[in-house]
Amino acid sequence: MEPLTTSYPLKYSVHKARIFVVFLSMVLCTTILCLLQLRFFKPKIKDFYSFEVKDSRGRIISLEKYRGKATLVVNVASYCQYTDKNYIALQELHREFGPSHFTVLAFPCNQFGESEPSSSQEIESFAKGNYGVTFPVFHKIKILGSEADPAFKFLIGNCFLLCIKLLVTLVVSLNPGCMLLSGNIKVFINYGEKQELSIQFLSF
């Protein structure tokens, strides 16, 4: 008589193998997710100086190098009715108060009346050649809309006008003009596009 056989051990082995495959797949997926997170995860932006921007030649520059200084962030244009007055005022401010404790950071933008059609390097050469600017002129950016530069978007979203006399708070919806950051990273004044920059700055 032939010995009796049963399929239970075989079924049990197949069941264990399936469990092992599922477990191995879960471990593999978890490992891949962790690696992707480590690769693409970016630290939470705490302030303006946590951003990176491009200089006029397209090289990445960390704004961390300006931390601790009072910083005047301004969008500039070469063919605006305020070009001469603003560049002259900005250079005077930078020369008088900088560069140890104060700096001007200029970001060209063509969104306001298409008054800055030139390339970033041409803009920098224009500013240095015509006005002798010694403050940095960065890569041309967009300030408004879905393609707005992240650093400027952060500033606009955190900016309020501090007026000692009127104590008025404004929402920036058009040209943000100039934004002055104190040494402790607070955005505490926003100069309108048409304000007299030197007078407003010096009287604050």
Tokens of 194: 């048409």
**Which amino acid would we find at residue 110?**
N
Task: Return the HEC string of the chain.
Answer: CCCCCCCHHHHHHHHHHHHHHHHHHHHHHHHHHHHHHHHHCCCCCCCHHHCEEEECCCCEEEHHHHCCCEEEEEEECCCCCCHHHHHHHHHHHHHHHCCCCEEEEEEEECCCCCCCCCCHHHHHHHHHHHHCCCCCEECCECCCCCCCCHHHHHHHHCCCCCCCCCCCCCCCCCCCCEEEECCCCCEEEEECCCCCHHHHHHHC
* Set 80, 109, 159, 178: catalytic member: 80
**d(Cα 46, Cα 185) in Å, to the nearest integer?**
10
Q: How far is CA 152 from CA 24, 83, 109, 177, 184, in A?
A: 46, 20, 11, 11, 18
80 catalytic per annotation: yes
Residues that are catalytic? 80
